[in-house]
Structure 1
């Protein structure tokens, strides 16, 4: 047997360092899986909190017999607390609230609107058709939350959009800053 063949046979029998080699090959995959699970958890958490924040804004707005800019700003603060510990400044969160009345002909009419923060999606007024009797209104809320993932440099920011509708509880039309708007 030649010296080269003896050396190859000896290397085949030598098992020292195999565990370290296997670990070095598997470690990047394990780290990638761990970071991926953290990203998925963060996204699921942000999705749930953003939906809850939209529901809170809609619910608190529809519970009052009147709203003002100051009261709506307080409701936005409540939505921000729902999002804690996620960042919820005006650069990450956009909220749009609209009171939509149903005319005597059954057509949705925007009575008033309130916006806060970043660009929230427009309220789809037409979606209110059939949600309330003629002469009454609904509160429609759209919310956009821009989620900053851990790997933001790679993934970029993710925008989560939610829409929620509530019926006023105490009055048929909720006035905003003293005016209910005009319902034909």
Structure 2
């Protein structure tokens, strides 16, 4: 190969290497959809993690507040539920289900419902019914009760429903022992309490 041909080849190669004006735009166009998906996916995952944390805080707060009383009035319980629901906001609270249960042991040392109430005012568990939602029945003492909060929140992504299309269901259970008495009583406004 002659020197002249070699110089032409090297000059052509250098010209080819310096001609990259459209290459960066092409690479950016190819990477843009991936970057957009990553960005919105991270935003949605961050929102879901925030909601999960709010559900945990709400459940623990409700259990802790209920365990600090010796008697809970129904009107006070409604205020507790309303306060806990504000922790979950500004997310849509329609996907929220809150249940507060007092659990005691029966004569056979099996957990039963002392009383229960949910955020709609209903009684989800009948008094004296067997309570099977505890992971360990030994948390209930012979002489007392425990306060159990069951919380379910259905989170539907609002910002980017295309990336996480189905709702995410967060379930949380919080347990506390009463602080002031062995059993927290549920009382109506006429001072009729559960026994």
Q: CA RMSD in A?
A: 2.4
Residue in 2 aligned with 1:43? 48
* Equivalent pair of 2:103/2:140 in contact (CA under 8 Å): no
Residue in 2 aligned with 1:94? 97
TM-score relative to the length of structure 1:
0.80
Whole-Å separation in 2 of the counterparts to 1:133 and 1:20: 69
Residue in 1 aligned with 2:171? 161
Structure 1 spans left out of the alignment, 5+ residues = 1-8
Structure 2 spans left out of the alignment, 5+ residues = 1-11
Shift of 1:31: 0.5
Match 2:73 to one of 68, 72, 84: 68
Shift of 1:87: 2.6
Whole-Å separation in 2 of the counterparts to 1:76 and 1:114: 10
TM-score relative to the length of structure 2:
0.76
Q: Is 1:135 matched with 2:135?
A: no
Q: Is 1:180 matched with 2:194?
A: yes
Whole-Å separation in 1 of the counterparts to 2:36 and 2:62: 39
Residue in 2 aligned with 1:79? 84
